Amino acid sequence: MNLIIDLSPLASALEEAGIKTNEFANAAVGRVSEQLAQRWRDSVKRAPGIRPDERSEYVGSIDWNFDGDASAVVQSTFKNARQIEEGRPAYDMKQMLQTSVRTKLTKEGKRYLVIPIRHNTPGSGVNAPAMPPAIYTHAQKLNMSQITGSFMGANANGRLVPRNQYQWGNGNNDPMARLKSGLVPRQQPHHKTDQYAGMVRMPTEDKKSQYLTLRTMSESSTGWIQKAKPGLFILRDVATFTQADTGNILNELLAEMR
């Protein structure tokens, strides 16, 4: 996507002010590039449907640099920027069963993974959605579960990998170790239970609490399909606006350099 800066309408004003065209051209490219980069960052911050962790990395990756005389590149190095811009196809998450070193085998020889899903506390939207306050009230009463040790166990490919041992609550049969089901409706009719059923409370490194549900993904699972997402076209819209505003940007710069 290219932005064209036309200096011809300002030629006489530049000559009158004694400003060299190439000097102004480089300054103009820098000003427009910085405006575009900042507008891009601001638009990503406001855009709906971007996960908080992706949003932060995306915003931090946007920058610009000169790549020649009166020429610059504004870009993002974030790996998912193009998918966010142009859209994401549907994706079968079960493909990770073939690549993850954590994949195990059932007695019947089918691959499976236990997926930890984090649930943030109300008021916090970092990296995961926050649970409803009513669920949080119940979750705070759960007895703390712990990692009690580790061992080496074979994965689906027969390779030995480290695995954790757990104690759920005050004992693996502790009724206060896991959140009971039925506190909220199931998200989809085909779901076996609601999204918070079985939640456990685990300590963090700074001795606070984190809340997780553990769900099993297997070869025979019918779900675990990420739906396709349409493109947000953030950069396209920002570039279109910046191109239309280039005249104003150049006039501001000319006034500063007179």
The pLDDT tens digits of the residues spanning 24-44 come to: 999 999 999 999 999 999 999
pTM of the model: 0.69
Burial 57-77 (b: 16+ CB within 10 A, else e): bbbebbebeeeeebebebebe
**Whether residues 154 and 233 fall in one domain:** no
**Whether residues 114 and 199 fall in one domain:** yes
**Whether residues 236 and 251 fall in one domain:** yes
Q: Would residue 106 count as lying in a domain?
A: yes
The DSSP code for 120 is B
Distance CA 234, CA 247 (A): 22
What is the reported pLDDT for 42? 98
**pLDDT tens profile 161-219:** 999 999 999 999 999 999 999 999 998 887 889 999 999 999 998 889 999 999 999 99
Q: Would residue 195 count as lying in a domain?
A: yes
- Cβ contacts of 94-101, under 8 Å, gap ≥ 24: 94/217, 94/218, 94/219, 94/221, 94/224, 96/217, 97/156, 97/217, 97/218, 97/219, 101/155, 101/159, 101/161
- Please work out, in degrees rounded to the nearest 5, the angle formed at the alpha carbon of residue 171 by the alpha carbons of 168 and 101: 35
Helix locations, the chain, DSSP H? 11-17, 21-46, 52-61, 81-86, 133-139, 234-257
Question: pLDDT confidence of 129, banded at 50, 70, 90?
Answer: confident
Work out the average pLDDT over 130-158: 95
Question: pLDDT confidence of 126, banded at 50, 70, 90?
Answer: low
Helix (H, G, I), strand (E, B) or coil at 257: helix
**Whether residues 42 and 105 fall in one domain:** no
- The torsion region of residue 68 among left (phi > 0), alpha (psi -120 to 50) and beta comes to left
What is the reported pLDDT for 49? 86
Work out the average pLDDT over 251-257: 94
**Whether residues 63 and 156 fall in one domain:** no
The percentage of residues in the chain with a pLDDT greater than 70, rounded to a whole number, is: 98
**Whether residues 84 and 139 fall in one domain:** no
Q: Which of 76-90, 146-160, 217-231 has the lowest mean pLDDT?
A: 217-231
Query: Which residues constitute the domain of residue 134?
Result: 91-226
**Whether residues 26 and 147 fall in one domain:** no
Work out the average pLDDT over 136-157: 96
193: which 2 tokens? 């239970």
**Whether residues 150 and 181 fall in one domain:** yes
**pLDDT tens profile 16-28:** 999 999 999 999 9
**Whether residues 84 and 135 fall in one domain:** no
The torsion defined by the Cα of 14, 15, 17 and 18, in degrees rounded to 10, comes to 110
* Rg of the Cα atoms in the chain: 27
**Whether residues 222 and 122 fall in one domain:** yes
**Whether residues 190 and 133 fall in one domain:** yes
Nearest to 128 by CA among 206, 51, 213: 51
Question: pLDDT confidence of 108, banded at 50, 70, 90?
Answer: very high
**pLDDT tens profile 212-239:** 999 999 998 888 988 899 999 999 999 9
Q: Would residue 124 count as lying in a domain?
A: yes
What is the reported pLDDT for 127? 57
